[in-house]
Amino acid sequence: MIKAVIILMLIMGITFGGSRRLEKGDMAPDFTLPDENESLHTLSDYRGNRVVVYFYPKDDTPGCTKEACNFRDHHETFVKQSIQVFGISYDSPESHKKFKEKYDLPFTLLSDTDKKVSKTYGAKGLFFPNRVTFLIDEQGTIVKVYEKVSVTTHGEDILRYFSSSQP
C-alpha cells in the first residue's frame, strides 16, 4: 500500500509539478543553496569546472540510495576529472546529513526546501523533485540533460559522457 501511494505521488509530481525543463545549450541558472552542514554553495562559484546537478526525490529511499551510492563509488574519478557533483532534493540539511553519514557519501547534497531551484530547472514535482540530471560545462552551459536515469549506473554514464565529449 505504501509503495502504491509513493508511486502515485511521484506520478502526480511529474504530471502537475513543474515548469519548462532546461535543455542542452541553455545557460545553467545560478543558485545558492545550503548543504548538509548549512554552508551555502553558489553554482557560479564552480565556473571553470564541469558540474553535475542531479535532482532526486527523497533521501534514504531505495532508488535515491542506489543512485547516490553509484556516485559515491565513482567519486574519486569525478574528483580526478575536476567534476563537481551536487545532489538536490527538497529534504532538509539535517536529513541530508543523516543520509550522507549512513551511506558515506563524499559529495555535496543541497537542500531546495522552497523548491525554487527545482522550478527554475524544470525539475519541480508536486511532492518531490523529478529525477533529472544536468551536466554543465566550464562556461556554465548545459551540455546534457538526463531525463531517464538508471540509478545503478548513472555515475558511470555521466563519466562516460564527459570522457567522450572531451576535445
**pLDDT, tens only, 23-63:** 888 999 999 999 999 999 999 999 999 999 999 999 999 99
Catalytic residue list = 64
Cβ(41)–Cβ(33) below 8 Å? yes
Instruction: Provide the grid cell at 28.
Output: 545553467
CATH number assigned to the domain comprising residue 34:
3.40.30.10
Instruction: Provide the grid cell at 104.
Output: 558515506
Count of structural domains, the chain: 1
Name residues whose C-beta falls within 8 Å of residue 42's C-beta, 6 or more positions apart in sequence: 30, 31, 32
Q: Could you report the per-residue pLDDT of 76-113, keeping only the tens digit for each?
A: 999 999 999 999 999 999 999 999 999 999 999 999 99
pTM: 0.86
The pLDDT assigned to 25 comes to 86
Least confident window among 12-16, 90-94, 98-102, 134-138 = 12-16
Three-class secondary structure of residue 125 per DSSP: coil
- Structural domain of 36: 2-164
Across the chain, the runs of DSSP E, i.e. the strands, are 32-34, 40-42, 50-55, 83-89, 108-111, 132-136, 142-146
- Report the chain's terminal Cα–Cα distance, integer Å: 50
